Amino acid sequence: MEAHLEGMLDTAVLAGEILLKNGAETYRVEETMIHIAKACGAVNVESFVIPTGVFLTVTDAAGRSATTMRRVRNRTINLDRVAKINALSRRLAERRITCRDAALALKRIARERTGFSLGPSMIASGLVGGSTAILQNGGVYEMLAAFAAAALVRYIAHVVSRLHGVQVTYEFLGGMTAALSGVLFYKLWPFLGRDAVIIGGIMPLVPGMAITNAIRDVMAGDLLSGISRGMEAALTAGAVAMGVVLVLATHTW
3-state DSSP call for residue 57?
strand
Q: Which residues of the chain have pLDDT under 70?
A: 1-3, 114-116, 161-166, 252-253
Distance CA 92, CA 201 (A): 43
Nearest by Cα to 127 from 89, 116, 37? 116
The reported pLDDT for the residue numbered 157 is 79
Q: How far is CA 202 from CA 10, 90, 170, 177, in A?
A: 40, 38, 12, 9
Rounded to 10°, the helix 79-93/99-111 angle is 170
The pLDDT assigned to 1 comes to 45
Q: What confidence score (pLDDT) does residue 165 get?
A: 58
Helix axes 26-39, 99-111, angle to 10 degrees: 140
Q: What pLDDT is recorded for position 216? A: 84
Percent of the chain that is helix, strand, coil (3-state, to 5)? 70, 10, 20
Q: Cα 43 from chain centroid?
A: 32
